[in-house]
Amino acid sequence: MSHSFFLTVAYVGTGFHGWQIQTALRSGQGDLWTALRAFDADAPMPQGTGRTDAGVHARAQGALIHMQRDWEPYRLLAALNAHLPMDIRVMAVQPAPEGFFPRQHAVAKRYVYRLGLGPAADPLQAAFRWHVHHALPLDLAAMAAAAQPLLGTHDYSSFRCAECVAKTPVRTIHDLRINAVEGGAELVFEGTSFLMHQVRIMAGTLVEVGRGRRSVDSLAGVLQARDRTRAGLTAPPQGLCLERVWYESKWGVGDPSPWGERTQSR
């Protein structure tokens, strides 16, 4: 009999070629599977909530695992962490309800892109921020105003990298806010799901607005063009972190989504 558990996994993306398992490159999924098989040799590969790019961090990657025997959640957490490197940790474990699959039943995600601002990059934050060098202060109010047309349900082809294999470029962004923090700023993106590099391209485009290199009212036209060349640069991966995932409430995994139960686009 198989016993299923849902894990919340955090990792520093710097050392990983993304979450998804790779043939010859390190991945979060691969490291977790290696740890799992250290004490359950026949365990199938863990299934994650979604991919993260190479170098992107996660605080709340969801993973479903199947064990040959039952475990107390706290003992399973300790056993997995004992076999994991220090840059990836299982943060929480709970029994998974039958029929639950994290990727299929996720309804919303929160990504945070972190910027470092100021005269020099903070060496203690450099692994988790994109330091934006600039002569004048970044105009966060202009960035927030420019972001408004990106809210809602749209075709986000202009913010989609060429390698993206999603079946549709249509996604829904519920909220996009920009918060000033000590030494920098946080760009918070909350939506159903995101295309490959979408958040990073949006972050790079908004930074161009903040630098005065792109007008505040330009993003509606960029969105409508459905042309990647109209958007800005792809921000570097170290500033991005998957912070939270909401799942369909019927499964009892975490808090219900504040935006309801509409299933996400694929």
The residues annotated as belonging to the active site are 53
Instruction: State which amino acid sits at residue 154.
Output: H
Helix (H, G, I), strand (E, B) or coil at 176: strand
Helix (H, G, I), strand (E, B) or coil at 8: strand
Q: What's the CA gap between 151 and 117, in Å, rounded?
A: 25
- Tokens 């039943």 sit on residue: 105
Sign of CA dihedral 141, 184, 203, 92: negative
Residue 251 backbone class (left: φ over 0; alpha: ψ -120 to 50; beta: rest) = alpha
For residue 225 the two structure tokens come to 């063009």
Instruction: State which amino acid sits at residue 222.
Output: V
List the one residue out of 263, 264, 244 whose CA is nearest residue 8. Answer: 244
